[in-house]
Structure 1
Amino acid sequence: MTEGGRTQRLVARAKAAHRRAETRFPVVTHLADRMVTVNIFDSATRIAAQCFLTAVPLLFVVAAYAPEAVRRQMLDSLKAVFGLTGAASKELDQVFQPAAAGLQQATGVVGGLMVLLSATAVSRAMQRLCKRAWEIPRAGTRIAPWRWLAWLLLWICVLVLQGPVRDGFGVGAWLGTPLAFVTQVGLWWWTQHLLLGGLVGWKPLLPGSVLAAAALTALAISAHLYMPKALNRALAEYGPVGSVFVLLSWLIVVCVAATVSVSVGAVLAQEPFLAGRLGSPPPQRDREPPGP
């Protein structure tokens, strides 16, 4: 038998095995196929890198131009998100020192606007994730660019308010944790709807939003146990470079969790047991015309 014949037989066997698995374990098979389509780790790493490259310049812009109350609230929220203490907390305090004229001059109004516009790279990366998760083709699905900026501004506002939310507005963590979860559900629900340009209705987007909120709330709780020690140790041993590595690694974990959650939510919403109730669009395999 020729090499080409063997390859064809292997491909035929693989396709037959895939069809059997799809018949016996449809949800698992569809999840695996969607993970491959979305390219989970590549998408998550890209989003994490964009988030990090966006966050650093934005912090300087906020430190240079935001009112004192906003700077203080942002500082408290960042400490609340990561549970910062010790050296890491002091390093962050230095970034949010009252703005000097030199910092404003170095940043510049035009520079601040350029930072904000370039930060929409995160929005575009998140939009690509949502479109892949819902198998929306690129052709014929142009979405207004203002949505990128609107998404970015909302996330900045949410970050500023994270401190009071996680503290339950002074009541305590017993209220703050469920409140943060509900906030995350709403945020991811609106994120998908906004970045998809309304191509998918509200109801089908709910499962992915709940999964993302649950995953990120759990990670936020674990961040208080891991991040302070990891950042302080990295600063002591390697200086600021060490803290960059720790933060980027954590962002990748967070983005992987969000990417998996959105993708799994899309698959579940398109399965027969939920699709009818939610009015979900059909998956790609059902949109394609049957072969001859």
Structure 2
Amino acid sequence: MSWATRVRRIRTGAEKRFPVLTELTSRLVSGNLLDSGTRLAAQAFLAAVPLLFAVAAFAPSSVRDQLRESLRAMFGLRGAADQELQQVLNGGDAGGLRETTGIVGALVALISATSFSRAMARVCERAWALPKAGTRIAAWRWTVWLLALVLVVFLQAPIRDGFGAGAWLGLPLYFLLSTGVWLWTQHLLLVKRVPWLPLLPGALLAGTASTVLGITAHLYMPTALDRALAEYGSLGLVLTLLSWMIVVCAALTFAFTIGAVLAQEPPLDRYLGTDRE
């Protein structure tokens, strides 16, 4: 018996015994997940930049300080990178920045930021092989999701610190919050077309990925940001942050897709109410 024949028999046997592997492999190969994650990261970056300037222009100093602390907690910012962030949020003339930005500009920034919400909704729909939801039904959900995500970002510093108790409490709190956010995200952006329970595997995978990447960011990002800033200036800072966003968004895209497949295939389908028979 040739080696190729033996491999085909092993694969056929595995597919019969574990049909979820066939579907999972097919989705991961044909779903262009990395492309979807890259597009999602680009939309996230394009949404974050104008919102950051809008906060710097219109938010009170206490809100700007809270945002700076949360971004520090998320990326482990220090040194030159932290000074750049502080300059953006507090270094300029607020009155002049308001005149430059303007109320209309801030509203346009918020509306354009919903492109990130639409991209996230499309990732969820592709994970579950669902058609695109109608704009009238989904439009308000995009705005609500975006505002909720901004609130979660603002709360990162106290949550990761366990509200003063330390990392021993902050880490499980962050995992639970991440899982809850991604569970709610799927339910909201899928326009309730999928019940809560089948969404749980994807939420757990996304929460795990977010937690692991959150820990990794503290180990990798400070050095990477300082090196990029020293070698390439602000452009290096932008490229490093965008690269990290691609990693995060790709991880979320894979998590939602894998979770959807696991929820619809044996053995979990019997317990999650997605059994097609």
TM-score normalised according to structure 1 size: 0.87
Q: 1:263 to 1:141 in 2, by over 3 A?
A: farther
Counterpart of 2:32 (choices 39, 46, 53) is 39
Q: Which residue of 1 aligns with 2:152?
A: 158
Q: 1:229 to 1:182 in 2, by over 3 A?
A: same
Computed over aligned residues only, the root mean square deviation of the Cα atoms, in angstroms, reads 2.1
Aligned-partner Cα distance in 2 for 1:47–1:176: 27
Confirm or deny: 8 A CA contact 1:38 1:129 kept in the other structure: no
Residues 35-74 of structure 1 mapped to structure 2, 5 A cutoff: 35-74=28-67
Aligned-partner Cα distance in 1 for 2:275–2:16: 21
Q: Which residue of 2 aligns with 1:239?
A: 233
Structure 1: 5+ residue stretches without partners: 1-16, 287-292
Confirm or deny: 8 A CA contact 1:143 1:196 kept in the other structure: no
- Which string of whole-angstrom CA distances, capped at 9 and with x for unpartnered residues, describes residues 122-160 of structure 1? 111111110110011348897421000011000000000
CA drift of 1:53 comes to: 1.0
Confirm or deny: 8 A CA contact 1:193 1:201 kept in the other structure: yes
Residues 17-166 of structure 1 mapped to structure 2, 5 A cutoff: 22-97=15-90, 100-138=94-132, 143-166=137-160
- Which string of whole-angstrom CA distances, capped at 9 and with x for unpartnered residues, describes residues 192-243 of structure 1? 0000000000000011001100011001101101000000011011101111
TM-score normalised according to structure 2 size: 0.91
Comparing both chains, which one has the higher relative contact order based on Cα–Cα distances under 8 Å and sequence gaps of 6 or more? 2
Q: 1:91 to 1:140 in 2, by over 3 A?
A: closer
* Structure that is richer in helix per residue: 2
Aligned-partner Cα distance in 2 for 1:92–1:248: 15
Structure 2: 5+ residue stretches without partners: 1-9
Counterpart of 1:171 (choices 165, 173, 184) is 165
Q: Which runs of 4+ in 1 moved over 4 A?
A: 17-21, 139-142
Aligned residues: 268
CA drift of 1:21 comes to: 6.2
Confirm or deny: 8 A CA contact 2:202 2:260 kept in the other structure: yes
Aligned-partner Cα distance in 2 for 1:209–1:131: 14
Residues 277-288 of structure 1 mapped to structure 2, 5 A cutoff: 277-280=271-274, 282=276
Q: Which residue of 1 aligns with 2:201?
A: 207
Greater Rg, structure 1 or structure 2?
Answer: 1
Q: Which residue of 2 aligns with 1:192?
A: 186
